[in-house]
Chains A and B, each alone.
Chain A
Amino acid sequence: MRFDQRHLLGIEPLRPDEITALLDLSDKYVTLNRARDKRSTTLSGLTQINMFFENSTRTQASFELAGKRMGADVMNMSMQASSIKKGETLIDTAMTLNAMHPDLLVVRHPHSGAVDLLAQKVNCAVINAGDGRHEHPTQALLDALTIRRAKGRLHRLSIAICGDIAHSRVARSNIMLLGKMENRIRLVGPATLMPAGIRDLGCEVYEDMNEGLQDVDVVMMLRLQKERMDGGFIPSEREYYHRYGLDAEKLARAKPDAIVMHPGPMNRGVEIDGTLADDINRSVIQEQVEMGVAVRMAVMDLLARNLRARPKEVLV
């Protein structure tokens, strides 16, 4: 097993064997997380800073819990409220934090590429917790782990990703990951929410949800990203729900054992029927949350190993 990354900025730079290594280790952390004593000392002595330039409850909580269970000193910084408002640039903020010698930096930012930029300026390991519409790698990894545990494999599956593809970093990371692991990816959604050139990434595109869900193994719903829309992509939420909302009738097109996923937070009655989301026979949405902590523990564990293997850099 090899994992050669210094940072986790996206799924794009990962090799399939690195993804498998991450998932294998995550499985072990799932077991640990289900035990009574959940503590490990893997990250003891290390400092983890969560920098969220964008609102987040679940991802931030998941990273915080992951770090604490592994013994790291975890600090949360809500960047919307702080120096950004005072006009400090991203790089200055990064340099300031860097001077405090963190070991792991978890960053979410509303602009694509911002986490890459930050990673160039700091000495610690950087984990992308979502940048603009670019990538959200830990989400794709936890989705992959959920699928692998439910389906017993992570290849040769037919997976439909449905909804607001254009504004979704979750969709991009999942397309990357599931493609690298050799699955068949279908994208389902209105043409206005389908990004340009997406077919070139090896996806099949469906504008009719009933066709798109035909015989798939996995139905992955996306949240309608109201906050990222700069006006008029869909006529109304009720028309969207009628054509692209997941309900029992549309799900009947998929394989009988198809699982339903959603990265959360859900807009019930907009992209997914509330009853369906709670159906423990079909929905794995709660498992996704559980896998999230385990995957983040595995990611930080592997990055910390690489960090320790590297000679300590001197601050300039």
Chain B
Amino acid sequence: MTDLLITNARIIDPEGDIIRPGALLVRNGVIAEIFDTPTPEVSRDLLPDHLRRDANNRFVAPGIVDIGVKVCEPGERHKESFGSAGIAAAAGGVTTIVTRPDTLPAIDTPEVLEFIRRRANEAAPVKVLPMAALTKGREGREMTEIGFLMDAGAVAFTDCDHVVADTRVLSRAMTYARSLGALVISHPQDPGLSRGGAVTSGKFATLRGLPGVTAMAERMGLDRDIALVEMTGVRYHADQITTSRALPALERAKANGFDVTAGTSMHHLTLNELDVSDYRTFFKVKPPLRAEEDRQAIIEAVRSGLIDVICSMHTPQDEESKRLPYEEAASGAVGLETLMPVMLRLYHSGDLTLPGLFRAMSLNPSRRLGLDTGRIAKGAPADLVLFDADKPMILDRFKLNSKSKNTPFDGARLQGRVLETFVDGLSVYRSQ
């Protein structure tokens, strides 16, 4: 049974940029009816009690589509499996995870990709869509079998944080991808300038004696990528834009009509370089946290729509790889479960509206991947999250469902809690 009635809800519609009170009826996994009345009459014969939810005037939004989640299968299942990532996603209101290919080995053949899809469907309660590597072994030398990988279900192609340094290789891969209509996702960084960098260069890096990478490295990476997009006409998405310097380049590319979109991470929207403080390695992410002016500029870019997508950049790391001197410690933070409450900080601070937030977390990523989700409309899949935007909590990292607990938000005061998550109308998580 995938029928469901949610009454007394405040429905967040990112397409219409509006919140409207009403009710939702789901039939066969899709949204069948959207009511303007909070408690519409639906006969008990058609819909028994256990399929009814009274939202009590809380919010219902389209489920989050998180592009760039690392599930450590194959290779490092002790850090995260499809089971644990799926449960974490459901608990965080994420209904579709789009996985990264930077596993061990990299996901670069249709065989590995098929294995991933099979494992994911068995183990995860949410939808899992895999991305594949753009070059074999993410080594930047030869392109992968983009056609076969698309047939096997790859939704996008990326070498993740391995920047394809050889522009000839990248231009060929992009040209080939364009001919198949594939989406290429890139990590805009100049590989020479960013080599060895652990923090953003500047006063803080100097004070702490840590090797810095200039913010200019991101702009140079983006400039180069956009030139190649102009040359090849490929569909292009920048995984994370985190500095104000890169924004004019992005704006120009969009104004010129290139098929370019960009994302940013929850960390770069809510934290800055000073949070690293006394070498706190849980705040080491890639690219490194930026200056406060950059953070402000990125928020503004999300608000204006220049940056399309907010993602969690979920990157599980075990304690051993984090309990090291800062330079040696691994990068990345888990985020599936904290994405929504952390991003609600920007709603509570008045920086973003709820429809604006879900446009960047649900609607835009869904559209970019050509999915039908991420919206509240008749006939759309009933991937929904029911949440309380105000409920306060203090985050305890050991209560996270991920196998790895490396979040920079341990002990943070957050507001917002997922009450229930639905995938195709089916409840996959319900808070106690």
- Where the two chains meet, the residues of A that have a C-beta atom closer than 8 Å to any C-beta of B are 12, 89-91, 109, 111-114, 116-117, 131-135, 169, 172, 195-198, 200-201, 230
In the complex, are the beta carbons of B326 and A112 less than 8 A apart? yes
B370: chain A residues within 8 A (beta carbon): none
- Is B201 at the interface (CB under 8 A from chain A)? yes
Within 8 Å of chain A (Cβ to Cβ): is B68? no
Top 3 A-B pairs, shortest CB-CB distance: A134-B209, A113-B279, A197-B203
CB pair B203–A200 under 8 Å, yes or no, is: yes
Beyond known contacts A113-B327, A117-B325, A197-B201: 13 more, CB 8 A cutoff: A89-B323, A89-B324, A111-B326, A112-B210, A112-B327, A113-B278, A132-B327, A172-B206, A195-B205, A196-B201, A196-B214, A197-B202, A201-B206
The residue on A at minimum CB distance from B279 is A113
Known: A116-B278, A116-B279. A196 touches B205 (CB 8 A): yes
Contacts of B211 on A, CB cut-off 8 Å?
A: 133
Answer yes or no: B196 CB below 8 A from chain A CBs: yes
- Select B202's contact among A112, A114, A116, A196, beta carbons within 8 Å: A196
Q: Is B204 an interface residue (CB 8 A)?
A: yes
Q: Which of B203, B209, B214, B328 meets A135, CB within 8 Å? A: B209
Which A residue's beta carbon lies closest to that of B326? A113
Q: Which residues of B contact A196 (CB under 8 A)?
A: 201-203, 205-206, 212, 214
Shortest CB–CB separation between residue B114 and chain A, in angstroms? 36
Q: Which of A12, A111, A172, A200 is B327 in contact with, Cβ under 8 Å?
A: A111
The CA of A197 and the CA of B207, in the complex, are separated in Å by 9
Closest to A173 in B: B209
- Any chain A CB within 8 A of the CB of B208? yes
- Interface-central residue, B196, B203, B208, by most chain A CB under 10 Å: B208
User: Is B320 an interface position by the 8 A CB rule?
Assistant: yes
What are 15 A-B contacts with C-beta separation under 8 Å? Answer: A109-B325, A111-B326, A112-B327, A113-B325, A113-B326, A116-B278, A117-B279, A117-B323, A132-B209, A133-B211, A134-B210, A172-B207, A196-B202, A196-B212, A198-B203
Asked if B208 and A112 make an inter-chain contact with CB atoms under 8 angstroms apart, the answer reads yes
Q: Is A90 touching B324 in the complex (CB atoms < 8 A)? A: yes
From 178 to 213 in chain B, residues with beta carbon under 8 angstroms from any chain A beta carbon are 196, 201-212
Which A residues are CB-close (under 8 A) to B327? 111-113, 132
Cβ–Cβ contact B323 & A201, under 8 A: no
Interface centre among B204, B325, B328 (most CB of A within 10 A): B325
Query: Is the pair B208, A113 in contact by a Cβ cutoff of 8 Å?
Result: yes
Q: Which of A89, A133, A198 contacts B209 (CB 8 A)?
A: A133
Q: Shortest Cβ distance from A19 into chain B, in angstroms?
A: 18
Contact A113 B210 (CB under 8 A): yes
- Please determine whether B278 and A197 come into contact, CB atoms closer than 8 angstroms: no
Bound: A72/B246 CA distance, A: 57
Distance in Å from the Cβ of B145 to the closest Cβ of chain A? Answer: 37
| Neighbouring B residues of A195 by C-beta, 8 Å | 201, 205-206, 212
Chain B residues within 8 Å of A117, by CB:
279, 323-325
- The winner among A113, A196, A198 for most chain B CB atoms within 10 A is A113
Most chain A beta carbons < 10 A, residue from B201, B279, B324: B279
Report the Cα distance A201→B207, complex, angstroms. 9
Encoded as 1 (CB less than 8 Å from any A CB) or 0, chain B from 78 to 113 comes to: 000000000000000000000000000000000000
Among B205, B207, B208, B327, residue most surrounded by chain A Cβ atoms (within 10 Å): B207
Closest to B195 in A: A230
Q: How far is the CA of A112 from the CA of B210 in the complex (A)?
A: 6
A131 contacts B209, C-beta separation under 8 Å: yes
Q: How far is the CB of B204 from chain A (nearest CB, A)?
A: 7
User: CB-CB < 8 A to B328: which residues of A?
Assistant: 111
Q: In the assembled complex, how far is the CB of residue B330 from the closest CB belonging to chain A, in whole angstroms? A: 13
Q: Is there an interface contact between B325 and A134, defined as CB atoms closer than 8 Å?
A: no
How distant is the Cα of A197 from the Cα of B201 in the complex, in angstroms?
Answer: 8
Q: Which residues of B contact A131 (CB under 8 A)?
A: 209
Contacts known (A113-B278, A117-B279); A91 close to B323, Cβ less than 8 A: yes
A169 and B325 CA atoms in complex are apart in Å by 16
CB distance from A275 to the nearest CB of B (A): 33
Task: Give the chain A neighbours of B196 by CB distance below 8 A.
Answer: 230
Task: For the complex, give the distance between the alpha carbons of A201 and B209 in Å.
Answer: 13
Bound-complex Cα distance A112 to B214 (A):
19
**What 0/1 pattern do residues 314 to 351 of B give for CB contact below 8 A with A?**
00000010011111100000000000000000000000
How far in angstroms is the closest Cβ of chain B from A103?
23
Q: Within the assembled complex, what's the spacing in Å between the Cα atoms of A133 and B327?
A: 11
B413 CB to closest chain A CB (Å) equals 23
Question: Are B206 and A112 within 8 A (Cβ)?
Answer: no
Evaluate contact between B202 and A134: CB separation under 8 angstroms: no
How far is it, in angstroms, between the C-alpha of A200 and the C-alpha of B291 when the chains are bound?
Answer: 14
Given A196-B202, A197-B201, the answer on whether A111 and B325 have CB atoms closer than 8 Å is yes
Bound Cα distance from A109 to B201, whole angstroms: 22
Contact indicator B207/A169 (Cβ below 8 Å)? no
The reply to whether A172 and B324 contact each other, CB–CB distance below 8 Å, is no
Chain B residues near A91: list those with CB within 8 A: 323
Nearest chain A CB to B76's CB is how many angstroms away? Answer: 18
Output the least CB separation between B74 and chain A (Å).
24
Residue of A nearest to B276 (CB): A113
What residues of chain A lie closer than 8 Å to B320, measured between beta carbons? Answer: 89
B202 partner residues in chain A, CB cutoff 8 A: 196-197
Q: In chain A, what residue has the closest Cβ to B211? A: A133
CB distance from A298 to the nearest CB of B (A): 25
* Residue numbers in A under 8 Å from B323 (CB-CB): 89, 91, 117
- Complex: chain B residue closest to A134, CB-CB: B209
Contacts of B206 in A (CB 8 A): 172, 195-198, 201
Rounded to whole angstroms, the CA-CA distance of A236 and B23 in the bound complex is 74
Which residues of the partner chain A approach B212 to less than 8 Å between Cβ atoms? 195-196
Q: Is there contact, CB below 8 Å, between A90 and B325?
A: yes
B204: A residues at CB distance < 8 A: 197
Quick one: CB contact mask for B201-237 with A, threshold 8 Å, 1 for yes? 1111111111110100000000000000000000000
Separation in Å of the A194 CB from the closest CB of chain B?
A: 10
Could you tell me the distance in whole angstroms from the C-beta of A66 to the nearest C-beta in chain B?
A: 25
Smallest CB separation, A288 vs chain B (Å): 22
